[in-house]
Amino acid sequence: MDIKLLYLISIFLFIFLCITSVYIKRIFKGKYSSDIKISVLLYYDSDTIYLRSLLSTITKYKNINDIIVIYRGKQINFKHYKVRFFKDDLIKEYSSFIRFLYVPKCKNDTILLLNNDIVPSERLILKLLYRYKNDMVNYYGIFQRSCNSSGYQTISLYNNIILSPVLLTSKEILERTWEDMINDKERMLDENMDDILFQFYFEKIYGKQPILVRGKFKSFSSSLKNFYQYKVKNEYCKNLHKKNKYKEEDFY
């Protein structure tokens, strides 16, 4: 058989297999739907560059009907019936912990903690709700980490934290866990440690591990910023679990 003909047949088969695989993937791709309504809690201090894009996107999602934006400084010019702005000077004191103070203001029993530099897809929101509906006494998200006495790890066989840039759970869990967190003033002094401290008390109260959910999203976060936070969180985890160990030994 002519080599050119074999070459053309090979190309044709390759294209055919690619088209077939895409078609099959679309047919068997899971479809998710939910009637659960979500309240979103997010805050910003001074970095508002991506906030308008985020709000413009998530206000279109059917399951999101309530968005609370907590800010310090100047409010951005964005008006939508789903969005409520709250100016709060306590952001400087509480940092990302500030969202817990606004949980009672949420209209829904299902709450999504969200950073202003992460834009989840609507399908991802539905996947989170699908897992959440099967077990509402837990929390769910797209970033998982490990935090123990050895430190903070981004890659580990044992991951016990879901990060708060995208974290879905119930109002009841947030309020109950906050009752213990608010008394731990010393550990709340460090900025952006809300997800670590939340998991620490969540596990103490409920004895469960959070669930990872994979899905599409857009991120605008800085890798340099993430590297700095990693170093800080590494020491925070060591101290958190070291102190906890000492407290347990005091009872013997």
Q: Is the pLDDT of residue 10 over 90?
A: no
In a domain, 175, yes or no: yes
Q: Is residue 25 part of a domain?
A: no
Residue whose entry in the numeric block shows the structure tokens 């591990």:
209
Measured CA to CA, the distance from residue 75 to residue 88 in angstroms comes to 11
Instruction: Name the band, by pLDDT with cuts 50, 70 and 90, for residue 5.
Output: low
Is 28 inside a domain boundary?
no
The two beta strands, 118-120 and 217-219, are antiparallel
Domain membership flag for residue 151? yes
pLDDT of residue 49: 79
Residue 181 placed within a domain: yes
Please enumerate, as own/partner, the contacts of 59-62 that have beta carbons within 8 Å and a separation of 24 or more: 59/83, 60/122, 61/122, 61/125, 62/122
* Backbone dihedral angles phi then psi of residue 233, each to the nearest 5 degrees: -65, -30
How many folded domains does the chain comprise? 1
Asked whether the predicted pLDDT for residue 244 surpasses 70, the reply is: no
Distance CA 85, CA 121 (A): 23
In this structure, the chain runs to a length of 252
Q: Tell me how far apart the 2 most distant CA atoms of the chain are, in Å.
A: 84
Backbone angles phi, psi at 151, to 5 degrees: 125, -155
Q: Tell me the pLDDT tens digit for each residue of 69-90.
A: 999 888 888 999 999 999 988 8
pLDDT of residue 28: 43
Q: Does residue 211 lie within any of the structural domains?
A: yes
pLDDT single digits (tens) 192-203: 899 999 999 999
Cα–Cα distances in Å, from 175 out to 50, 102, 106? 29, 10, 11
Would the pLDDT of 176 be above 70?
Answer: yes
CATH number at residue 59: 3.90.550.10
Residue 1 scores a pLDDT above 60: no
CA distance 38 to 137: 16
Could you read off the pLDDT of 117-173 as tens digits, one per residue? Answer: 899 999 999 999 999 999 999 999 999 999 999 999 888 888 999 999 999 999 999
Distance CA 42, CA 75 (A): 13
Residue whose C-alpha is closest to residue 116's, from 226, 232, 219: 219
Q: Are 199 and 152 in contact (CB under 8 A)?
A: no
Q: Residue 210's pLDDT band (boundaries 50, 70, 90)?
A: very high
Question: Which carries the bigger pLDDT value, residue 103 or residue 155?
Answer: 103
Q: What is the pLDDT of residue 57?
A: 96
In this prediction, residues 62-67 reach a mean pLDDT of 97
Query: What range defines the domain where residue 84 resides?
Result: 38-249
Closest CA to 225 of 233, 216, 236, 217: 233
pLDDT of residue 225: 57
> Pick the residue with more confidence: 91 or 195?
195
Residue 22 lies inside a defined structural domain of this protein: no
| Domain membership flag for residue 11 | no
